[in-house]
Amino acid sequence: MANERIESHFSEAASVLERFRSDAKNIAAVHSAGDLMLSALKSGGKLISCGNGGSMCDAMHFAEELTGKFRDDRAPIAAMSISDPSHISCVGNDHGFEQVFARFVQAHGKPGDVLLAISTSGNSPNVLRAAEVAKKQGVKVVGLTGKDGGKLAPLCDVEVRVPHGGYADRVQEVHIKVIHALIDHIERGME
């Protein structure tokens, strides 16, 4: 019984990934997102990423692979995640948790930059506020969403949606694949 439950996790994950992979519009969206990011970087812009919980970990992973190293040695690429605990606790305390990402984008986002906004539901209030501020400041928005895209979908210049209505962990598992594909696309484009 325990083995069947464990196997079901892998089976469901494979199914969600295969559904995403087999839809050409999803692959095209990842390509468009990567091109948007490359364009920003080649024009002197930077990438900013944000998300909550596991999505924050993904946002951090995205940025560190670009400033550090993904697969091959190369020059660092301008990327940062909104994950500084002192910033988050300060803004959360003084302005409310819904503003923790928006205030950072307001302070650091410039026209020509790209915000990678990650929300498995597409409805995280603090991610939505960040996307709204980004749009006002001329920062492009790439959204990684799930389910039906939520309220984040219409705020995105490019949305990459994992159309899975179940638990968020399955969406996050595809998000990390998308993030790795984006990093690879950016690295190759910057050569």
Between residues 72 and 181, which one has the greater pLDDT? 181
pLDDT of residue 102: 98
pLDDT recorded at residue 40: 98
pLDDT recorded at residue 2:
76
Domain harbouring 178, CATH code: 3.40.50.10490
pLDDT computed for residue 39 by the predictor = 98
**Residue span of the structural domain in which 51 resides:** 2-190
Q: For the chain, give the percent of residues with pLDDT over 90.
A: 97
The count of structural domains within the chain is: 1
DSSP for the chain, written as a single string:
-HHHHHHHHHHHHHHHHHHHHT-HHHHHHHHHHHHHHHHHHHTT--EEEE-STHHHHHHHHHHHHHHS-SSS------EEES--HHHHHHHHHHH-GGGHHHHHHHHH--TT-EEEEE-SSS--HHHHHHHHHHHHTT-EEEEEEETT-GGGGGG-SEEEEE---S-HHHHHHHHHHHHHHHHHHHHHHH-
Work out the average pLDDT over 78-104: 98
Average pLDDT, the chain: 97
- In tens, the pLDDT along 42-63 reads 999 999 999 999 999 999 999 9
pLDDT digits (tens, 9 = 90+) for 92-112: 999 999 999 999 999 999 999
Q: Does residue 1 carry a pLDDT above 90? A: no
Q: Is the pLDDT of residue 170 over 70?
A: yes
The stretch 70-82 carries a mean pLDDT of 96
pLDDT band at 191 (very low <50, low <70, confident <90, very high): confident
pTM over 0.85: yes
Of 2-6, 147-151, 174-178, the range with the lowest mean pLDDT is 2-6
Which pLDDT score, from 0 to 100, does residue 160 have?
Answer: 98
